[in-house]
Chains A and B, each alone.
Chain A
Amino acid sequence: MEFITDILNAIVLILNFLVVPALSYGSQLALGALGITLIFGILRFANFAHGDTMAFGTMITILVTWWLQSKGISLGPLPTALLALPIGIVFTIALMIITDKTVYQYYRHHKAPSVTLMIASMGVMFMTNGIVRFIIGPNDQRFLDGERFIIRARDFKAATGLDEGLTIKMTQGLTIFIAIALVIALFWFLQKTRTGKAMRAYSDNEDLALLSGVDPDRVVLVTWILAGTLATIAGTLYGLDKSFKPFTYLQLLLPMFAAAIVGGIGNPIGAILGGYVIAFSEVFVTYAYKKFFVYLLPVALEPEGLMQLLSTDYKFAVSFIILVLVLLVKPTGILKGRVL
């Protein structure tokens, strides 16, 4: 009997410290990577400004959240930020359309090489970053309110009688739920609607799509709207789950790129898969498994060290190494995307 509780404890331990955090972080990455992959598929460049787009959308959401909080409006157990999210999305879409009209459109019409667009996106990154830091400052901001947990460790222990507790934070539950809903909506849009089909056709073969009467300006516009929406939601969920700091969002760029490429760039399903692959490997490789083995192994075999493959500080290294491995072994990514 004790043997079975030990195994159950070990499973709960893994669920609590690895699976749940990785699922929510993976969902955030997946939403970000979806934006990157859509832009790459339609506009054909790697968008360096995407991290800062996320920061911008989150910033607007935070400002509106603060305003709502000052008015005493709240969503009860849910964070108020959800109420502010639509306004953040609208502002981000506006920013996307303005940058497209003022910056990217010219290069697109002149058939500039994708590298030029990439450098232009660095300029946009600088400007967005400057705006965000100017308005909200470079420091940490917290804007989470409402109920903090869905399942508390103490309640879980009391209910199951196990030594290990399982905690699911409200933000984690929300992230996973929203991500699933969004992905379903996105795929319905891409597969079933006329515009979605036009987008896929345009991404697949630009010339053929143009011949068939697809309006390129409309396709590009919808792409920016989708990317802006996804970025704002991903950024807000990340900010709720951890905290908001402009610099962190710039750093998210690398895991998001990695997720998009690992899954197969230009392929939306790949981006989601990539997001989870990156998140799970980051969390699994940097976890200290000592307690896990203590539960599973007999006392004589218990490990002395932390049983940790890499220290947590090397999260970036993990996503990067996976990126390199995938590109060496299968340059199109796990699911077939384009070759970068």
Chain B
Amino acid sequence: MSNEQRTWLAFGFVGLLLLVIGFSQSWSVALGIFNLCLISAVMALGVNMQWGYAGLLNVGIMGFAALGGMAAVLVSKTPITAAWEAGWANLLLAVIFFVATVALAIFAFRKMDAGRHRTIAISTTIIIGLFITRYFLDPAVASIEAVEPAKTGFLGGMGMPILFSWVIGGIVAAGIAWLVGKVALGLRADYLAIATLGISEIIIAVLKNEDWLTRGVKNVTGLPRPVPYEIELQSSDWFLELVTWWHSSSLINLTDIDKQAALRQFTIEGSSIFVKLCYTGLFASVLIVILMLSVKALNSPWGRMMRAIRDNEIAAGAMGKDVTRRHLQIFIVGSAVVGIAGAMLTTLDGQFTPTSYQPLRFTFLIWVMVIVGGSGNNMGSVLGGFLIWMVWIEAEPVGVWLVEFGTSWLDDSSTLKVHLVSNAQHMRLFFMGMVLLLVLRFSPGGILPEVIRRRS
């Protein structure tokens, strides 16, 4: 089977699965799953750039996705002027002293000779700087969080359209990736994994605890939407006409009263599907743009260089390629793509909840997508994103159903059965791990393995 056939077959299978979900559950559910499939695919593409092209093991995907989500809040929410007025002066001073501390520490690190003096100088700078920063930051935070703590208690955002945050999310994630990469990329691959694991936990800890920034665990809800609201659609004339036209064949045989009721039902269903379709359009265009760029990049001399570095760093270095620089570059680009996906996800949810960022869901599941789909192959990552997300979502009802089937000989009220059924949803973790291990063992290239073109 040629590679192209394989790709078509695999995506055909995904389409078929969606159709099955659409017919057996509902089209709204199918579209909802498909939207998250698209976001997952973008995220998987970002990770594939790092792992598939360059062999960098990033286990901090969760953190970069959360940064994207934070950007969505900071861009789209209206600024809280009262909070700004209450805290701007102290906050500004805190920022100035923080930057000064960092700058001084870096200056000391660069200019002083290594030894005990330098260590002492740097640590005193950092400790004193931290105390001064805290001296200004604490009252600033207190005054900001005192402004209507039940409703706001944070600085708010910039009040710009939320679509803009997709770009900002990418930029923020890229900035943090630059910092992490500067520190971690000089060392070996295993270390990058542990370092990124750490940085993602820290990002989540900051987002959970800095209430003045994104309200912490109090969550930010009601983010503005880039697409119309269902309620607006249901009361607009053009949408009613569209629904009437779409369902004209089934409406034609009904009496007037039935027609009214049916039309109302169709409008409610239709509005939900229409909103989801709008999201699908937005997400799909982002995915297609990133996918096209990735394919182009991977097939360009740059992509060949990346793979050369991945396959043999020493040889590539000997050919004059700056390995560390290229690694930093791809690490930043990949993280930015993950950040974009994170902003898209928060946009779709309409809310930002730091506690929902869990490593199993946001880091390791994406890894399963990349490995199962086919690392190094862009289409493979997209496929992995689609397939694994669907399995992840559908494994829950299927798992519960299987457990109920398996325990049908037990009495409905038996503790064992109640326990097993209520915990059945967790079996999808087991299932995901098994899929990852099976693919890794028996088909290490994934479903769509990397295509290597050789010129004769």
Residues of A participating in the B interface, judged by any CB pair closer than 8 Å: 45-46, 48, 103, 106, 114-116, 118-120, 122-131, 133-135, 137-138, 247, 250-251, 253-254, 257-258, 261, 305, 309, 311, 313-314, 316-317, 319-320, 323-324, 327-328, 331, 339-340
Q: Are A320 and B433 neighbours in the complex by a CB distance under 8 Å? A: no
With A115-B189, A127-B433, A305-B138 given, is the CB distance from A133 to B197 under 8 Å? no
CB-CB < 8 A to A311: which residues of B?
Answer: 209
CA A128 to CA B436, docked complex, whole Å = 13
A-B contact pairs, 27 of them (CB 8 A): A106-B441, A115-B190, A118-B193, A119-B440, A122-B364, A123-B437, A124-B437, A126-B360, A126-B436, A127-B430, A134-B424, A134-B427, A137-B419, A137-B423, A138-B426, A258-B198, A311-B209, A313-B208, A314-B202, A314-B206, A316-B202, A320-B195, A320-B198, A320-B199, A340-B188, A340-B190, A340-B194
CB-CB < 8 A to B422: which residues of A?
Answer: 137
CA A323 to CA B187, docked complex, whole Å = 13
Q: Are A46 and B183 neighbours in the complex by a CB distance under 8 Å? A: no
Q: Smallest CB–CB gap between A113 and chain B, Å?
A: 9
CA A189 to CA B424, docked complex, whole Å = 42
Q: Does B434 touch A at the CB level, under 8 Å?
A: yes
CB-CB < 8 A to A125: which residues of B?
Answer: 364, 433
CA A221 to CA B197, docked complex, whole Å = 29
Q: Does B358 touch A at the CB level, under 8 Å?
A: yes
Q: Are B202 and A320 neighbours in the complex by a CB distance under 8 Å? A: yes
Q: Are B190 and A250 neighbours in the complex by a CB distance under 8 Å? A: no
CA A46 to CA B14, docked complex, whole Å = 34
With A130-B430, A254-B197, A331-B187 given, is the CB distance from A122 to B208 under 8 Å? no
With A317-B205, A327-B191, A340-B190 given, is the CB distance from A123 to B183 under 8 Å? no
With A118-B57, A126-B360 given, is the CB distance from A320 to B183 under 8 Å? no
Q: Does B431 touch A at the CB level, under 8 Å?
A: yes
CB-CB < 8 A to B77: which residues of A?
Answer: none
Q: Does B404 touch A at the CB level, under 8 Å?
A: no
Q: Does B367 touch A at the CB level, under 8 Å?
A: yes
CB-CB < 8 A to B184: which residues of A?
Answer: 324
Interface residues in B161-220 by Cβ distance below 8 A to A read 183-184, 187-191, 193-195, 197-199, 201-202, 205-206, 208-209
Q: Are B195 and A324 neighbours in the complex by a CB distance under 8 Å? A: yes
Interface residues in B415-450 by Cβ distance below 8 A to A read 419-420, 422-424, 426-434, 436-437, 440-441, 444
CA A297 to CA B432, docked complex, whole Å = 58
CA A251 to CA B358, docked complex, whole Å = 10
How many residues belonging to B are interface residues under a CB distance threshold of 8 Å? Answer: 54
Q: Which 8 A-B pairs have the closest CB atoms?
A: A126-B433, A130-B430, A130-B429, A127-B433, A133-B426, A320-B198, A123-B436, A123-B437
Interface centre among A115, A118, A126, A327 (most CB of B within 10 A): A126
Q: Does B371 touch A at the CB level, under 8 Å?
A: yes
With A122-B436, A123-B433, A123-B436 given, is the CB distance from A257 to B426 under 8 Å? no
Q: Are A257 and B194 neighbours in the complex by a CB distance under 8 Å? A: yes
Q: Does B32 touch A at the CB level, under 8 Å?
A: no
Q: Smallest CB–CB gap between A142 and chain B, Å?
A: 18
Interface residues in B320-372 by Cβ distance below 8 A to A read 358-360, 364, 367-368, 371
CB-CB < 8 A to A134: which residues of B?
Answer: 420, 423-424, 426-427, 430
CA A294 to CA B183, docked complex, whole Å = 39
CA A339 to CA B188, docked complex, whole Å = 8
CB-CB < 8 A to B202: which residues of A?
Answer: 314, 316-317, 320
CB-CB < 8 A to B138: which residues of A?
Answer: 305
Q: Are A314 and B364 neighbours in the complex by a CB distance under 8 Å? A: no
Q: Smallest CB–CB gap between B25 and chain A, Å?
A: 24
**Which residue on chain B has the smallest CB distance to residue A309?**
B130
**Which residue on chain A has the smallest CB distance to residue B444?**
A116
Given A134-B420, A314-B205, A323-B194, output 6 extra A-B contacts at Cβ < 8 Å. Answer: A123-B440, A126-B432, A130-B430, A137-B423, A313-B209, A320-B202
Residues of B participating in the A interface, judged by any CB pair closer than 8 Å: 55, 57, 59, 127, 130-131, 134-135, 138, 183-184, 187-191, 193-195, 197-199, 201-202, 205-206, 208-209, 358-360, 364, 367-368, 371, 419-420, 422-424, 426-434, 436-437, 440-441, 444
**Which residue on chain A has the smallest CB distance to residue B216?**
A313
**Which residue on chain B has the smallest CB distance to residue A247?**
B358
Interface centre among B193, B364, B431, B433 (most CB of A within 10 A): B433
CA A129 to CA B361, docked complex, whole Å = 12
CB-CB < 8 A to B131: which residues of A?
Answer: 309
Partner of B429, one of A133, A137, A328: A133
CB-CB < 8 A to A137: which residues of B?
Answer: 419, 422-423, 426
**Which residue on chain A has the smallest CB distance to residue B371?**
A119
CA A115 to CA B138, docked complex, whole Å = 43
Q: Are A130 and B201 neighbours in the complex by a CB distance under 8 Å? A: no
Partner of A130, one of B57, B134, B198, B426: B426
CA A115 to CA B188, docked complex, whole Å = 10
Interface centre among B187, B422, B430 (most CB of A within 10 A): B430
Q: Are B198 and A254 neighbours in the complex by a CB distance under 8 Å? A: yes
CB-CB < 8 A to B426: which residues of A?
Answer: 130, 133-134, 137-138
Q: Smallest CB–CB gap between B122 and chain A, Å?
A: 10
CA A118 to CA B190, docked complex, whole Å = 8
Q: Are B428 and A130 neighbours in the complex by a CB distance under 8 Å? A: yes
CA A134 to CA B367, docked complex, whole Å = 22
Q: Smallest CB–CB gap between A253 and chain B, Å?
A: 7
Q: Are B430 and A253 neighbours in the complex by a CB distance under 8 Å? A: no
Q: Are B187 and A127 neighbours in the complex by a CB distance under 8 Å? A: no
Q: Smallest CB–CB gap between B315 and chain A, Å?
A: 16
Q: Are B198 and A323 neighbours in the complex by a CB distance under 8 Å? A: yes
Q: Are A120 and B205 neighbours in the complex by a CB distance under 8 Å? A: no
CB-CB < 8 A to A48: which residues of B?
Answer: 59
